[in-house]
Amino acid sequence: MVAQILTHGRFAFLQVWKDKSMWLKVLLMLPLAEVLPLLLVGRAFLSYDQLQAFLFTNLAWCFVASVIMQCLYVFQSVTQSAKLDLLIAADGGLAGWVVGYCGMTSLVYMASAAVSCGLLGLGLGYPVSPAALLVAIGLVVPAVLALMAVVLGLCLRWARILHLVNSTLDVLQVLACVMYPLAALPAILRPAAVLTPLMWVNQYLWTGQGWTLLVALGLCLVALVAAFAWMRRCVARYRRLGNMGRSR
């Protein structure tokens, strides 16, 4: 399993390294397109302290959304080809691939988030704290891996459902309290929000309360264990129904 994770991680890094336009997108275009416009709008109604938290929560969300979309792009090409069967048949299977590929992709985008935090903070005159942001978004990586495992399990059962994930990101952004703290969320949505690991990470970025990171880590680990158990069940069902070798 470890060898598989390292192999897939190396492959993911080489993909990014060889694609020079990817570095431009990761380090410059995504932060400017996703974060800066919202930050400029926020300056009209947020205090100085709130703007710093607003910068961090949007950078964290940019990281999550970017990793998910990058992985989904690759997952789509795999689930619609014979590569899926090769991964299922290999030692470590889909679990090794998800951890290796998504994990390395997360590391690349974490570097982007740190650079973006520093540049935007310095350029706009906010206290620069890329280390705090890296700690926060590092806790989100298990939740990203869990989401990818759930998506792959769904693909094994119902094939072409990847396009639905893009829509769910909008819902997740609301529940994660990217734009505002939990207290500003409508009461009817708060029960769902408190089960979202990224919401607790954003609460830390909004309030600075360290205990929220422990809650986020616990929820991420629970989600990761449940998601990989679900994916294993879906792989077993895929094999049992004799779908190996069939076009997706």
Supply the Cα-derived Rg of the chain in whole angstroms.
19
- Note the pLDDT of residue 226: 92
Residues 6+ apart with CB under 8 A from 195: 219
Mean pLDDT of 135-139: 79
pLDDT at 1 over 70: no
Mean pLDDT of 46-70: 75
Mean pLDDT of 168-188: 84
- Note the pLDDT of residue 77: 74
pLDDT at 75 over 60: yes
pLDDT at 137 over 80: no
- Note the pLDDT of residue 126: 63
- The pairs formed by 29-35 with CB atoms below 8 angstroms and a separation of 24 or more are 30/62, 30/66, 30/112, 30/116, 31/59, 31/62, 31/112, 31/113, 31/116, 31/119, 31/120, 34/58, 34/61, 34/62, 34/65, 34/66, 35/59, 35/62, 35/116, 35/120
pLDDT > 70: percent of the chain = 64
Mean pLDDT of 138-159: 81
Token reading at 138: 């590092």
Mean pLDDT of 59-63: 78
Token reading at 114: 């740190």
* Residue ranges of domains in the chain: 2-240
Average pLDDT, the chain: 75
Q: What is the DSSP string of the chain?
A: -HHHHHHHHHHHHHHHHH-HHHHHIIIIIHHHHHTHHHHHHHTTT--HHHHHHHHHHHHHHHHHHHHHHHHHHHHHHHHTSTHHHHHHHSTTHHHHHIIIIIHHHHHHHHHHHHHHHHHHHHHHTPPP-HHHHHHHHHTTHHHHHHHHHHHHHHHHHHS--HHHHHHHHHHHHHHTTSSS-GGGS-GGGHHHHTT-HHHHHHHHHHH--THHHHHHHHHHHHHHHHHHHHHHHHHHHHHHTT-TT---
Q: Which residue has the higher pLDDT, 200 or 93?
A: 200
Token reading at 209: 């309360």
pLDDT > 90: percent of the chain = 4
Mean pLDDT of 45-67: 75
pLDDT tens sequence across 192-241 = 999 988 899 888 888 878 898 889 889 989 988 999 898 888 888 877 77
Give ∠ CA 19-9-246 in degrees, rounded to 5.
90
Most confident of 8-22, 84-98, 179-193: 179-193
Mean pLDDT of 13-38: 64
First to last CA, the chain: 26
pLDDT at 76 over 60: yes
Lowest mean pLDDT, pick from 132-136, 143-147, 213-217: 132-136
Distance CA 195, CA 19 (A): 37
Distance CA 197, CA 183 (A): 16
